[in-house]
Amino acid sequence: MTPQEPSAAHVRFTIDGHVATIVLDRPAKLNAVTPAMAGEVVAACRRCDADPEIRAVVLTGAGERAFCAGSDVAELDSYDTPWEFRTRDDYCDAVRALRTPAICAVNGLAYGGGLELALSCDIRLAAEHARFAAPEIKLGWIGGGGMTYLLTHSIGASNAAQMVLTGEAVDSARALRTGLVSELLPRGELLARAHELAATIASRPPIAAQTGKANLRAAYAMPLEAAVQYERDLQTICFATDDAAEGRAAFKQRRPAVFRGR
C-alpha cells in the first residue's frame, strides 16, 4: 500500500492496486469533521475520479470507537454567516458525487454527518458494535447532507422518520435488518472484508461499474418505464466498449478477461 502526502487535516489517503482508501483520522474526536477535513475529503474524492487506475474506494475511520460523529459542532460557529455555512465544501456531496464505486466500512458510531457520509457510499458494511443516529434534532436542526432522502430510500419512510424525529441511535442488528447496511462483521474483520469487496469491484470493467452506479442512482427518481429505457441506453453504451468485446472474447475462449477501461 502506497502512502500519499500526510494531511494536517486528519484525512489519510492510500492506494493499493486499483483500490483507494480514505481514512478519517481524528479518533480522539470520534473522527468529527472540521472544515479543513471536509476540504481534504473533497480533494481525495476528486483525485479518485481523476485517476483511471482507481476503480473502487473504501471509506472508513481511524480507531474502533467511531466511523464519524459528523461535523465538529465546536467548529460550526466559525462560519461568519449562514450563507457561508450554506455554501461550504460539503464532504457528503463529494462522496455522493464520486463516479467510482465506494464502500463504507463503518467501524463504530456513525452519527449525523457520519451517517450521511455512510449513506453517500454505494455499499455499507459495519462492525457488530456500530451504531447509527441522526441526532441533529437534539441540537435544534436537521441533517443537510442528504439525510432524509438517503435514509428514506435505504430503510423506508417509517424507520427514517423514527430516526430523524427522535435522534435516537439504532444498533447494528437493526441496521442490518432494515437494510441500512449490507453485512455485519466482527470488528477485526471489517476492513479486510471491505477491501476484499472493493478488489472484486475493481476487477470488473470500470466503465460498466461506473455506469451501473450511475444507473442505480438514477433509478431512485425515475418511474419504471423511463428507468428501463435509461438502463437499456446505458447497456448499449457499455456493449460498445472494448472491455465488453474483451469480455465476450474471453468467455468464448474460456480465459480470464483483461479489462482496460476502454
Cβ neighbors of 244 (< 8 A, separation 6 or more) are 205, 208, 238
Give buried/exposed letters for 42-54 (b at 16+ CB in 10 A, else e). Answer: bbbbeebeeeeeb
- The answer to whether residues 78 and 72 touch, using CB atoms and an 8 Å cutoff, is no
Strand order across the beta sheet in which 102-106 lies: 2-3, 11-16, 19-24, 56-61, 102-106, 123-127, 183-185
The angle formed by the CA atoms of residues 225, 229 and 232, to the nearest 5 degrees, is 140
Give the torsion through C-alpha atoms of 232, 251, 256, 211, to 10 deg: 0
Catalytic residue numbers read 116, 136
If you search the block for the grid coordinates 435516537, which residue do you land on? 168
Cβ neighbors of 27 (< 8 A, separation 6 or more) are 61, 62, 63, 65, 66
